[in-house]
C-alpha cells in the first residue's frame, strides 16, 4: 500500500476510533531505505495514525546506513520498528484488520423525556458521563429531533471522552 492509499483509507475511517494495535513514528524502512515504515503502537486513534502519515509526506529521512530518502504519495509503507529489516508491508487487508479491532470512545450525553403533561424530549451533555454539563433549554416533540440536537451539540462540545485528549465529535450512530 502506498502512502497516498494509506492516507485515503485512514481518511475514510472514523477518526475517533482508538485501536488496540496501530502505528506511528514514521521512518525510513531498513529493508528498503526508499520505503516508509511506521513503528507498531498500542491504543492509538485513527486520527493519530493519519497524522503520522501526513507528517511523513514529502519528508526526507536518513537511511539506516546513510543516504537521504524523500517519502512521497507513491512510497510503499511497512509496519516495522526503526532499525529492523523485518516487519510486514502495510496492505489493504492488514489495515482492515487493524481498523476492525478499534473501539469508538463512548460519547457523553443523553436524550430524555421532559416532565409534564405533553410528550417532549430534550438532551443533556452530563458531566457524569464525561460531558460539558450543557442541557438544552428547549424541548422537541420527537426523540429523533432531540437526538439530532444532541449530535449537533457534540460537534462543538469541548468535553473530552475518558482516555483521550480528543474533543467529543460524531454522532451516536456507529
pLDDT, residue 103, reads: 62
Distance between CA 141 and CA 118 in Å, rounded? Answer: 9
- Global pTM reads 0.61
- Of 38, 69, 100, the position where a domain reaches its end is 100
d(CA 83, CA 39): 10
What residue ranges of the chain have pLDDT lower than 50? 162-174
**Ordered DSSP codes for 25-82:** EEEE-SSSTTSEEEEEEEEEEHHHHHHHHHHHTT-EEE-TTS-EEE--TT-BEEE--T
Do residue 115 and residue 156 come from a single domain? Answer: yes
Same domain membership, residue 85 and residue 118:
no
Q: What is the pLDDT of residue 115?
A: 73
In a shared domain, residues 64 and 113: no
Boundary (domain end) residue, out of 51, 67, 100? 100
Closest-CA residue to 167 (of 52, 22, 16, 18): 16
Gyration radius (Cα) of the chain, Å: 21
Question: Of 74, 100, 126, which one is at a domain's C-terminal end?
Answer: 100
Decide: 91 and 9 in contact? Cβ < 8 Å. no
Query: What is the C-alpha separation between 90 and 78, in angstroms, rounded?
Result: 5
Within this chain, do residues 76 and 121 fall inside the same structural domain, yes or no? no
Same domain? For 147 and 91 the reply is no
My answer on whether 70 and 141 are in the same domain is: no
Give me the number of domains the chain comprises.
2
90 in the same domain as 23? yes
Do 81 and 113 have their domain in common? no
14 with 87, same domain?
yes
Report pLDDT for 105: 55
Q: What is the pLDDT of residues 115-158, one digit of tens each?
A: 776 777 888 887 776 778 888 877 788 888 888 888 788 777 77
Residue 90 is predicted with a pLDDT of 97
Q: Burial of 112 by CB count in 10 Å (0-12 exposed, 13-18 middle, 19+ buried)?
A: middle
Domain span including residue 148: 106-174
Q: Please indicate, yes or no, whether residues 34 and 20 belong to a single structural domain of this protein.
A: yes
Specify the pLDDT at position 170.
Answer: 43
Amino acid at each position: 500500500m502506498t502512502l497516498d492509499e494509506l492516507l485515503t483509507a485512514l481518511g475514510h475511517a472514523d477518526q475517533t476510533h482508538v485501536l488496540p494495535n496501530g502505528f506511528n513514528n514514521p521512518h525510513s524502512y531498513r529493508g528498503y531505505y526508499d520505503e516508509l515504515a511506521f513503528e507498531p503502537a498500542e491504543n492509538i486513534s485513527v486520527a493519530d495514525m493519519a497524522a503520522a502519515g501526513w507528517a511523513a509526506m514529502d519528508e526526507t529521512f536518513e537511511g539506516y546506513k546513510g543516504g537521504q530518502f524523500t517519502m512521497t504519495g507513491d512510497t510503499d509503507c511497512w509496519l516495522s520498528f526503526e532499525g529492523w529489516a523485518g516487519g510486514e508491508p502495510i496492505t489493504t487487508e492488514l489495515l482492515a484488520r487493524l481498523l476492525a479491532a478499534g473501539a469508538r470512545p463512548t460519547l457523553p450525553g443523553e436524550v430524555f423525556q421532559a416532565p409534564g403533561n405533553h410528550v417532549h424530549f430534550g438532551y443533556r451533555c452530563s458531566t457524569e458521563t464525561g460531558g460539558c454539563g450543557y442541557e438544552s433549554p428547549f424541548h422537541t416533540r420527537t426523540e429523533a429531533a432531540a437526538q439530532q440536537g444532541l449530535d449537533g451539540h457534540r460537534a462543538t462540545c469541548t468535553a473530552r471522552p475518558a482516555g483521550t485528549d480528543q474533543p467529543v465529535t460524531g454522532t451516536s450512530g456507529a
